[in-house]
Amino acid sequence: MQQNNSFLVLFLEPVREFLADDGVSEILINGPSDIYIERAGKLQRVNARFVSENGLRAAAANIAKSVGRQLDDAHPRLDARLPDGSRVHAIIPPLSRIGTVIAIRKFKKDALTVADMLKFGSIDENVLATIRSLVLGHKNIIVSGATSSGKTSVLNAISSFIPEGERVIVIEDASELRLQQTHVVPLETRKPDKNGQGEVSIRDLIHSALRLRPDRIVIGEIRGGEALDLLQALNTGHAGSMSTIHANSPIDCLRRIETCALLAGIEIPLAALRAQVASAIDAVIHTARLSDGSRKVVSIAEILPLENADYRVRELIKWETTSIAPDGRVSGRFAPVAPGIPA
């Protein structure tokens, strides 16, 4: 069991065994007696339960206090990271109608490597070679996908292709990426204190990163107005940078970046913004969790110039499902896409 999970173990005794089980990636507590875990990409209900709603709510409040946050009637939502990187979100009544709800996404002790991705079938040699070429060619890459599709793990793995000797600035809400290069400068955001002061955002850190002489900028995830700052950085010579974003497809990834950039609150014509997006992003690596729980890189797409002010992408490689076995196991192949009309 990870030492830094002691906060969770202390307060969440009924789910201790799942906190200690490295095969469990998430623990979902829907009130005191309805608890699920995710193992190998599949959800399953377990028999664990808390004695009462009051006990569960007290546990959640103590977790909040342990990381300097509050969870009470005035602050009914908790979004926190533990020292080891595990993510905890909690919400209490009356916002939740089934009692205190807690979701714990556990931090993995061992970062996913490209060798692991090959072994698990998340990629094949052709996908690996394509990704390596993109990284070594200093292409700006966005890893997109749905929640829990493995975006951060893939970003961490592909960052291993960044050559030694390059200065990499890593920006995250909480430290999760573990780059292996020697010259890495990790920066982390800071939440406001109880008086609403002292916040340091992703946008603030991007501004700092540009003054720290980066060869590449790696951002853990794009969620809001920082997308515009990143686009400007990528369009002013910081090639080879990377990030992740929630999206349903490579072309949806570009639209999501556009939407996030608009949240910056800066007036910019839509045509000009789309031109920036298409110019800044060279490729999208799209991930997905399949029906059997396996996670794969299901598409690699290059970004083409705008046509009639709309985005265009051309897939280089995509996953094709060929069969689903009686036990639910998905089979298929990574298929190179013949040149043709872009999407």
Taking the C-alpha atoms of residue 320 and residue 254, their distance in angstroms, rounded to an integer, is: 23
List pLDDT tens digits, range 7-64. Answer: 567 788 899 899 888 889 899 999 999 999 999 888 999 999 999 999 999 999 999 8
Provide the CATH number for the domain around residue 197: 3.40.50.300
pLDDT at 2 over 80: no
Which of 85, 105, 125 is the last residue before a domain boundary? 105
pLDDT at 287 over 60: yes
The domain tally of the chain equals 2
pLDDT band with cut points at 50, 70 and 90 for residue 240: very high
Shared domain for 177 and 251, answered yes or no, is yes
- Do the domain assignments include residue 94? yes
List pLDDT tens digits, range 149-183. Answer: 989 999 999 999 999 999 999 999 877 788 889 99
Shared domain for 100 and 128, answered yes or no, is no
List pLDDT tens digits, range 99-152. Answer: 999 999 887 777 789 999 999 999 999 999 999 999 999 999 999 999 889 899
What is residue 79's predicted lDDT score, i.e. its pLDDT? 85
What is the DSSP secondary structure assignment for residue 162, as one 8-state letter? S
Q: Using DSSP, state whether 131 is helix, strand or coil.
A: helix
Taking the C-alpha atoms of residue 137 and residue 155, their distance in angstroms, rounded to an integer, is: 16
Shared domain for 97 and 228, answered yes or no, is no
What is residue 333's predicted lDDT score, i.e. its pLDDT? 95
Report the Cα 7 to chain-centroid distance in Å.
23
Q: How far is CA 308 from CA 261, 275, 305, 312, 339, in A?
A: 21, 11, 10, 10, 21
Shared domain for 136 and 272, answered yes or no, is yes
pLDDT band with cut points at 50, 70 and 90 for residue 197: confident
- Do the domain assignments include residue 341? no
Which of 87, 105, 123 is the last residue before a domain boundary? 105
pLDDT at 1 over 60: no
Structure tokens at 171: 């920006």
**Directed axis angle between helix 250-262 and helix 226-234, to 10°?**
110
Boundaries of domain holding 272:
114-336
Q: What value does the mean pLDDT of the chain take?
A: 90
Shared domain for 332 and 199, answered yes or no, is yes
Handedness of CA 124, 138, 302, 176 (dihedral sign): positive
8 Å CB contact between 150 and 187? no
317 has which bridge partners?
300, 336
